[in-house]
Structure 1
Amino acid sequence: MFETMHGSPSPEEIAADLARAALIGQQNDRFRTTWGADFTIPGRIVMTRGVADLGFTAHVAIMAAVQRFTSFTEDNDPYGTRDFGIFSVMVEGQKVRLYWKIDLYDAAYQFGSDDAADPRKTRRLLTLLLPEEY
């Protein structure tokens, strides 16, 4: 945790930060696991050129893998917001490693959200990319 201008955060502030991160994590999970079909958590899903070039069959496998992703650890999810994952799918007999990342924007997708826990003010952007495109 970060220290404030007035010193270390209080236990109440720490609890509030953890609860907020957990709420954002739950919203990110709902968006990701429904592939954006839960309209109470608005957002978009995009892919890089490298992922687009993998083809339709790979896209189906990628979608399923992202929806089923549960491998969150302290290393890949230190804040509990569940906004990043590394996974692999088979494409034409070859194992392909990919990343997914959720960024939180304002309603116009121009700036970061000023209240990431409020789905009325926040739009999620889930990006699928190859590690070399990161």
Structure 2
Amino acid sequence: MATSEATQAPTIAQLNDEFRQGDHSLGRVVTTQGVNGLSSEDQQELFRLLRTFDDFTPDNDPYGEHDCAGFEFKGERYLFKIDYYAPDLEYGSEDPDNTAVTTRVLTLMHSSEY
């Protein structure tokens, strides 16, 4: 990781945490068919687990951005990942720690869909 990327990581992690925990003004949340196929109650619990997830380690968060990890739910593995796009969602963001030029997209999926 370049020095500028290393200094951005804490800000990016904070923004990703805020977004994942419910500040959807920072982006969009999408789910895959594996999540969409769950009951409403199970989806609600899955999102609760997503919002409260805090088990980031060097193995699942090597760049310190809190942008991707997995967790267990009812004996199954689920993953989330956050990607950074320009506001028009056409291209990747060149500055993911700048909310004026970045729209976050969080994808929640069953591990088999990765």
User: TM-score with structure 1 length normalisation?
Assistant: 0.80
Aligned residue in 2 for 1:128: 108
Written as runs of structure 1 = structure 2, the 5 A alignment for 1:19-98 is 19-34=7-22, 36=24, 39=25, 42-90=26-74, 95-98=75-78
Aligned-pair distance for 1:53?
A: 0.2
Q: Which residue identity is paired with 1:111?
A: Y
Q: Deviations over 1:70-120 (max 9, x none)?
A: 010001101011001101223xxxx22100110010001111001111001
- Aligned pairs, number: 114
Partner of 1:64: helix, strand, or coil? helix
Name which one, 1 or 2, has greater alpha-carbon Rg. Answer: 1
> How many angstroms apart in 2 are the aligned matches of 1:66 and 1:81?
15
User: TM-score with structure 2 length normalisation?
Assistant: 0.93
Structure 2 residue ranges without an equivalent (≥5): none
Q: Which has the higher contact order (CA 8 A, sep 6+)?
A: 2
Q: Does 1:109 align with 2:97?
A: no
Structure 1 residue ranges without an equivalent (≥5): 3-13
Aligned-residue CA RMSD (Å):
1.3
Percentage of matched positions with identical amino acids: 36
> Is the CA contact (8 Å cut-off) linking 1:98 and 1:129 kept in structure 2?
yes
> Is the CA contact (8 Å cut-off) linking 1:22 and 1:80 kept in structure 2?
yes
> How many angstroms apart in 2 are the aligned matches of 1:54 and 1:35?
24
